[in-house]
């Protein structure tokens, strides 16, 4: 891939590149490289199994980043650091397709900022919540109808549950026997898959322009000011639910263990981190959430953890075709941490609801 990465770089409107593209970051989806030069950049080979229409993904990203740049400028912010900048190809396109059909894109590196795979400082988690809440507010008047659905039914948990059942039934790799308890765990809670989708269908929850992948490592924290300076990984910006954005951030960042921790005694939902994120997120949303949206925040955490659990399990059963894995059984390990978190949230349910009530005043 190295050779192709180097070749791809030469097609972008960029001077003074030095050295080789180097693997970078820890995302599960795209192949990311750091490119050194006069201005450091990030090169990504987009995952074309997952994103079947890369042109549509890039149209969304160009639209959203240009929109954000106008708002950032109007607020006196730094347009080069507070959102991504798509570097065009020499032909003026937003991505380059190589002879093998692989699609490559480039952004300027957000300098002086880091993304974290776990919460190292509580304040960082609070700042990430402010930034994701603010991101949603900045996009509140984005023309949602112009956004392509880059992954159909991305957070349609009910549809994902059906896909999971089918994977169990087909059992193409003969792995279901290794995951009987896990399969039963999600089956016995199948109502979780419908709660938010049903409320949306009934018109009780508003559809907003959301990020849909609010993992802590999808935000850049400024090394000096420690502010959540830039929201990245914009592949799945689409209409969605506030509870999904809140919930995904909680399932990843408020866990006391890593997403793939094998020692489950280390994994639980930290109430203090839950409180800190809730506070930051509500502040970032600046009072623009409905009471029901706020009341559904704990449910968002549970649903997103359940959803990721069945996604990891489905991928394990299908032979690890979606998420990148780095060891045997990696997706099963990830599935187990999500189960542990769902069970822990169930135990702490009253407390999660109480924290939200207390901080929001609903």
Give residues in contact with Mg ion (CB under 5 A). Answer: 27, 218, 233
Establish if 61 lies at the interface with ligand ADP (CB under 6 A): no
Compute the distance between CA of residue 62 and CA of residue 124 in angstroms, rounded to an integer: 28
- Number of residues engaging ligand ADP in binding (CB under 6 A): 19
Stretch that binds ligand ADP, among 109-117, 159-167, 185-193, 274-282 (CB under 6 A): 109-117
At 275 the three-state DSSP class reads helix
- Looking only at residues 196 through 225 of this chain, which bind ligand ADP when binding is defined by CB under 6 A? 217-218, 220
Compute the distance between CA of residue 133 and CA of residue 246 in angstroms, rounded to an integer: 8
Among 124, 233, 248, 333, binds ligand ADP (CB under 6 A): 233
State phi, psi for 18 to the nearest 5 degrees.
-125, 150
Question: CA neighbours within 13 Å on the CB side: how many for 155?
Answer: 29
- Number of residues engaging ligand GN1 in binding (CB under 6 A): 12
C-beta of 21 vs 27, nearer to ligand ADP: 27
Establish if 255 lies at the interface with ligand GN1 (CB under 6 A): no
Compute the distance between CA of residue 306 and CA of residue 192 in angstroms, rounded to an integer: 7
CB of 321 to ligand ADP, least distance (A): 15
Compute the distance between CA of residue 195 and CA of residue 198 in angstroms, rounded to an integer: 5
Stretch that binds ligand GN1, among 38-46, 166-174, 211-219, 347-355 (CB under 6 A): 211-219
Identify the DSSP state of 88. P
Beta pairing partners, 271: none
CB of 274 to ligand GN1, least distance (A): 18
Compute the distance between CA of residue 79 and CA of residue 73 in angstroms, rounded to an integer: 6
CB of 199 to Mg ion, least distance (A): 28
Establish if 260 lies at the interface with ligand GN1 (CB under 6 A): no
**Contact residues for ligand ADP, defined by CB under 6 A:** 24-25, 27-30, 32, 42, 84, 107, 109-110, 115, 217-218, 220, 232-233, 235
């Amino acid at each position: 891939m190295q050779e192709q990465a180097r070749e791809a770089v030469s097609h972008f409107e960029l001077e003074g590149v030095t050295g080789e593209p180097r693997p970078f970051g820890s995302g599960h989806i795209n192949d990311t490289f750091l490119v050194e030069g006069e201005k450091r950049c990030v090169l990504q080979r987009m995952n074309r199994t997952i994103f079947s229409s890369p042109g549509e993904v890039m149209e969304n990203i160009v639209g959203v980043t240009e929109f954000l740049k106008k708002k950032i400028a109007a607020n006196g912010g730094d347009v080069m650091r507070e959102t991504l900048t798509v570097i065009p190809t020499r032909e003026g396109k937003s991505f380059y397709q190589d002879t093998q059909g692989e699609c490559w894109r480039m952004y300027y590196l957000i300098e002086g900022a880091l993304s974290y795979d776990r919460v190292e400082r509580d304040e960082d988690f609070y700042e990430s919540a402010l930034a994701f809440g603010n991101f949603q507010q900045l996009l509140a008047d984005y023309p949602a109808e112009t956004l392509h659905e880059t992954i159909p039914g991305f957070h349609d948990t009910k549809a994902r549950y059906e896909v999971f059942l089918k994977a169990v039934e087909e059992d193409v790799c003969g792995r279901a026997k290794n995951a009987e308890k896990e399969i039963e765990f999600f089956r016995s809670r199948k109502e979780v898959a419908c709660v938010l989708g049903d409320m949306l269908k009934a018109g009780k929850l508003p559809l907003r322009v959301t990020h849909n992948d609010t993992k802590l490592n999808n935000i850049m924290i400024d090394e000096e000011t420690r502010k959540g300076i830039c929201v990245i990984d914009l592949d799945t910006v689409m209409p969605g639910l506030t509870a999904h954005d809140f919930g995904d951030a909680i399932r990843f960042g408020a866990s006391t263990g890593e997403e793939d921790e094998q020692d489950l005694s280390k994994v639980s939902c930290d109430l203090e981190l839950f409180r800190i994120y809730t506070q930051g997120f509500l502040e970032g949303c600046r009072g623009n959430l409905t009471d029901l949206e706020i009341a559904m925040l704990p449910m968002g955490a549970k649903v997103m953890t359940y959803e990721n659990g069945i996604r990891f399990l489905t991928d394990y059963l299908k032979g690890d075709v979606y998420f990148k894995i780095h060891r045997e059984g990696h997706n099963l390990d990830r599935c187990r941490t999500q189960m542990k978190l769902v069970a822990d949230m169930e135990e702490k349910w009253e407390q999660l609801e109480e924290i939200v009530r207390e901080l929001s005043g609903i």
